[in-house]
Structures are given as C-alpha cells and as structure tokens.
Amino acid sequence: MNDMGYKSPGELYYGSDVGTVISAIDDLIIEKMKEKSIDFTQEYFPILLRKETLSKTGYLKRGNKDCIYVYNPDIKNPNIEYVLTPSACFHIYEKYEHFNFDKEKVFTLKQHVFRDEINDEWRDEIRLRDYQIREIVFFGSKSYVEIIRTKLIDVAESVMEELNIPYSIKLSTDSFVHPIMKRYQQVQIEKKSKYELIIKYFGKEVAVASFNLHDRAFTGPFDINVNQIKTYSGCVGFGLERIALCYLKERV
C-alpha cells in the first residue's frame, strides 16, 4: 500500500487507489441494504456539531474526553460552541428534534467523525483521529428497531462474505466509556444493546462496525416520535477506512 501513510499517530493519508476501495465498500453496503429491502433516506451534514447538541446526547456525561473542540486561539477564554462531530448519528437527532414522523424511518449518511483518543495504549495505525463512517439511524417501535438492526447485521455479514474477509459478530460495550461508568457497560451487556463486527488486522482483532439499540436515550431528550407512539432508536456504523485497510492488507 504505497499510496498511504501517516503524518502522525491517528492521521492517515492515502491516494486514489485506497480511496477507490473505500468508495467501493461504501457502495457495497448501500447495495446490500437495498437487497435486504431496507427503505432508507440519505442525509448529508457538515462536520461541525453544536456543543449544546453534544451535551444533550449525554456523551460528555459518560466521561468521554475525546472530543476535538473548535475555537479561535486568538480569543482569550473563548466560548466554545462547536465540536468536530464524534458520532455521526448525533446530526440526525439534532435535525429531527421535536419531530413527529408519520411512519417508522431509516436514515443513512456518510460522515467524517473525529475522536482524539489520547490513551497511548489505544493508539495504533487503524485507530484514527479522523475517519469516515457509513451510518444508519432508525426510529420506530421497539420491535421495529430490533428488526432493522438484525437486517443490518445481515448486511454486514453479506459484505464480509463478498469481500472474502473472515469475521465474527460479538456482543460488546462502548470501550471509550470512562471507568466511573462501568455500570453503563454492564447495562449494555444485559440488554444486548451493542454488537460489533470483528475482523483481523495482522492477527489483531479489530471492530469495524457496531450495531446499537439506544432504547429511548435519544428519542426522549430530543422529543422524536413516530405517530405519537413511544419511539425507540438504534444506529449502526461501518468504519470505512478500517474495513478497507483490513481488506487491502490481505492483498499486498
């Protein structure tokens, strides 16, 4: 892979060959979603996210210290209003705050997300500060979001099989949760709210997609509803660079 490299830990650059593979993998995910008869709407968002929105998601309360904030260094004691978005789904909740859908919905977006995970033990060549996600966010009844998540796990398996990449699906928790929030991780395990798609990169297991049920953690605070019924949400994210790098390392 001569057309890629790192300027510093977590900062990947690549040329057209790797870029073409990333785009092809993203197209394949969309193709498989259509094959699974998932009716979705494409959305597009900037990389900036309001700090106010981030606070409402509870992201900061869970002890996540990896946000990259946007401010003018020439201003003393600046009032920080924006972050580079650390999670693509947050834009959907912000856009549809106080919204009542007339039917259950699935949205998808391709988004750059940013995390500065400063723990050196976590820093490796595929744990990036800036990376692309194919994100899918869905709203509906509890049974509906469970069905959509199951379909998207099927999508992931189909993508891996077409790319001829060995994989596994494992029950998981959010690894970036602060130690004071270990109870939150236990709840995730008990409710089976998070699964991950695991593949290997030079012998090391790497999560390249996550499949999450959020209960009403976001639809409640953001007042998002479907036909005025009790509405749940879920999201799935595919790490495009990670999948591409794992795919390419088998072919060098």
- Could you give the domains of the chain? 4-249 (3.30.930.10)
Element containing residue 244 per DSSP (H, E): helix 240-249
Q: One-letter amino acid identity for 205? A: E
With tokens 């490796």, the residue in question is 124
Report pLDDT for 209.
97
pLDDT tens for the 252 residues of the chain, in order: 567 888 877 888 888 989 999 999 999 999 999 999 999 999 999 999 999 999 999 888 765 678 899 988 888 878 889 999 999 999 999 999 999 999 999 999 999 999 887 665 545 667 888 999 999 999 999 999 999 999 999 999 999 999 999 999 998 766 555 555 555 555 655 567 799 999 998 888 999 999 999 999 999 999 999 998 899 999 999 999 999 999 998 665
Chain centroid to CA 206: 14
Stated pTM of the model: 0.90
- Residue 124: per-residue pLDDT: 63
| SS3 at position 58 | coil
